[in-house]
Amino acid sequence: MNVGLIAMSGVRVRTPLLAELGVTLPQFVNRGKVVASLPSLGLLTVAGLTPDDVDVTYREIPEVTAEDELEEFDLVGISSYSAQIDEAYALADRYRARGIPVVLGGLHVSLMPDEAAQHADSIVLYGAEGAWPQLVEDFRSNRMQPRYEGLRAGVFDDGNYAVPRFDLLRGREYNRLTVQTSRGCPLNCEFCAASLRITSSFQQKPVSKVLDEMNSALQVTESPFFELADDNTFVNKKWGKEFLRALIPLGIKWFTETDISVAEDDELLELLAESGCRQILIGLESASGEDLSGIDPNNWKQQRSDHYLEAIDKIQVHGVTVNGCFVVGLDNQTPEVFPRLKDFIDRSGLLEVQITVMTPFPGTPLYDRLSREGVLLQPRYWDRCTLFDVNFEPKHMTVEELEDGLRWLFSEVYNEREFTRRRRAYMEIVKRRL
Ligand code: B12
């Protein structure tokens, strides 16, 4: 039996002016190039969960076109994010028209199961753990069910967990490889559309398992740079320190996403630097505390926002750069947000910055609220769930003001002159440690 696991790859933007701007802005393009080549850890995990006597082929498809030759498989599994879901459905429909059964899984499918079921012989909700091995057995005995529910808890426990099949990447070029150390995030931001949505609570992988995965990934790459596919790596500081100590002997370089509380722990910061961490991405969301009211149920981010500048400085002094992420279009923001954000970025010493539009991904509490308020611009806009396209009427500005402001901010922040200025500022910060 041969299973084909197919991932959509590449990055997406719909609004034409932004897309044009995006391809000409040097810093935007640099980060885009780095991340666009990441493999699908979701499908490598599905491959790891597949019984040993089944052949697995892993494919990445940047663009689905009707002319493409279809590769023959006994069963096809396709992964899903909202932005490419229509391409995934089109591919699934073509395979099914050929008589080859298709299974759809992943984030979008878990959140919109009834829609996905129209394009699949079977769908898997939540993690593949706890569902995929049974599905394959059922398929082999001709009793595959239309729907399986994978695990939302205990995903990393022995018996449920499998090491992702990094060996399937042998011979291909990747700038970075991904490894996941946790699923979920206790902050529970209203707009979050990441792994939090397929877990019942925060799940942490034991350090020994993360190390096994890294060692397995190290077999297929000569110059390893790891990107941790976590929502928030350092929720548990005790686990964090154990993990960082274990990383030191590997001599790797790596990147992750976490929250601003790492700045409160000096020992953790020292270990981050020592373990080869090059950058941490932090969802700061806005420069002003007023904008942050209500974005997470406990106003966790709002409470810390007065200390953002000193926290960024403290992290960067350790030689770990901060990629500061900001969201525009939040309920409390007016058009004033654009110059204010520019000013904050200038003063912050941030080396890298990511600016995105608040996006009501289907299946999020934000989607439910904006839908109730009647401010969504279209009933179905999944291909515009890119984090750069505007899909709703903001509270305190017009759609045009939001789009214009975003374009202005992009051109002010992502240009060679600004990046050189930020790099120089960062070098000054690091010198203070020497
Ligand atoms: C790596 C990554 C990428 C890689 C993806 C490589 C790939 N082909 O998968 C790249 C850089 C290409 C990428 C692109 C984009 N990304 Co991205 N990305 C991530 C990131 C950092 C990690 C994802 C990951 O590896 N998770 C770990 C794996 C193990 O989890 P998983 O995929 O959910 O898989 C599990 C289950 O879902 C299930 N499963 C998944 N697939 C399948 C398939 C089958 C058959 C079965 C049975 C089960 C199953 O089983 C798996 C194991 O349990 C997340 C953020 C984060 N911190 O998680 C954002 C994230 C997934 N990306 C996001 C977005 C918005 C994008 C872009 C639209 C950005 C853009 N403007 O272009 C594009 C999407 C284009 C596309 N190709 O679809 C959003 C998606 C939200 C959503 N609900 O759709 C996220 C959550 C970030 C965010 N800010 O919200 N991304």
- For residue 330, is pLDDT > 90? yes
Distance (angstroms) between ligand 1 centre and the Cα of 81 equals: 6
pLDDT digits (tens, 9 = 90+) for 148-165: 999 999 999 999 999 999
Rg (CA), the chain: 22
Q: Is 129 in the pocket of ligand 1 (CB under 6 A)?
A: yes
Q: What are phi and psi of 257, to 5 degrees?
A: -115, 130
Q: Is 92 in the pocket of ligand 1 (CB under 6 A)?
A: no
pLDDT digits (tens, 9 = 90+) for 81-112: 999 999 999 999 999 999 999 999 999 999 99
Residue whose Cα lies nearest atom 75 of ligand 1: it is 11
pLDDT digits (tens, 9 = 90+) for 170-213: 988 887 899 999 999 999 999 999 999 999 999 999 999 999 99
Contact yes or no for 394/329 (Cβ under 8 A): yes
The span from the CA of 166 to the CA of 262, in Å, is 30
Q: What is the DSSP letter of 392?
A: B
- For residue 68, is pLDDT > 80? no
Residue whose Cα lies nearest atom 83 of ligand 1: it is 193
Q: What is the DSSP letter of 243?
A: H
The pLDDT, as a whole number, for residue 63 is 76
Q: Is 230 in the pocket of ligand 1 (CB under 6 A)?
A: yes
Lowest mean pLDDT, pick from 29-38, 200-209, 318-327: 29-38
DSSP per-residue letters across 47-82: HHTS-TTSEEEEEEESS--TTSPPPP-SEEEEEE-G
The span from the CA of 89 to the CA of 425, in Å, is 47
- At position 289, the amino acid (one-letter code) is G
Task: Kindly state the tokens that stand for 302.
Answer: 């709002």
Q: Is 77 in the pocket of ligand 1 (CB under 6 A)?
A: yes
Q: How far is CA 39 from CA 10, 76, 161, 356, in A?
A: 10, 18, 19, 23
Q: What are phi and psi of 421, to 5 degrees?
A: -60, -45
Contact yes or no for 245/271 (Cβ under 8 A): yes
The span from the CA of 65 to the CA of 63, in Å, is 6
Q: Is 240 in the pocket of ligand 1 (CB under 6 A)?
A: no
Beta-carbon contacts of residue 365 (< 8 Å; ≥ 6 apart): 190
The span from the CA of 430 to the CA of 34, in Å, is 24
Distance (angstroms) between ligand 1 centre and the Cα of 75 equals: 22
Residue whose Cα lies nearest atom 19 of ligand 1: it is 229
The pLDDT, as a whole number, for residue 23 is 46
Number of Cβ within a 10 Å radius of residue 238: 8
Model confidence, pTM = 0.95
The span from the CA of 292 to the CA of 306, in Å, is 11
- For residue 32, is pLDDT > 70? no
Q: How many CA atoms lie within 13 A of 374 on its CB side?
A: 0
Q: Is 49 in the pocket of ligand 1 (CB under 6 A)?
A: no
Residue whose CB lies within 8 A of the most ligand 1 atoms, among 44, 73, 79, for a mutation test? 79
Residue whose CB lies within 8 A of the most ligand 1 atoms, among 33, 46, 81, 180, for a mutation test? 81
Q: Which residue has the higher pLDDT, 70 or 392?
A: 392
For residue 283, list its beta bridge partners: 325
Q: Is 387 in the pocket of ligand 1 (CB under 6 A)?
A: yes
The span from the CA of 413 to the CA of 422, in Å, is 10
What percent of the chain has a predicted confidence (pLDDT) above 70? 94
- For residue 357, is pLDDT > 60? yes
- At position 53, the amino acid (one-letter code) is D
Mean pLDDT, the chain, integer: 92
pLDDT digits (tens, 9 = 90+) for 8-29: 877 666 666 566 665 445 455 5
The span from the CA of 340 to the CA of 332, in Å, is 14
Q: How far is CA 42 from CA 46, 104, 262, 369, in A?
A: 6, 12, 27, 29
Measure the CA dihedral 242/244/248/253, to 10°: 160
Contact yes or no for 370/376 (Cβ under 8 A): yes
Distance (angstroms) between ligand 1 centre and the Cα of 217 equals: 19
Which whole number is the average pLDDT over 274-295?
Answer: 95
Q: Helix (H, G, I), strand (E, B), or coil: what is residue 153? A: coil
For residue 416, list its beta bridge partners: none
CA 191 to chain centre: 13
Distance (angstroms) between ligand 1 centre and the Cα of 79 equals: 8
Q: Is 384 in the pocket of ligand 1 (CB under 6 A)?
A: no
- For residue 244, is pLDDT > 60? yes
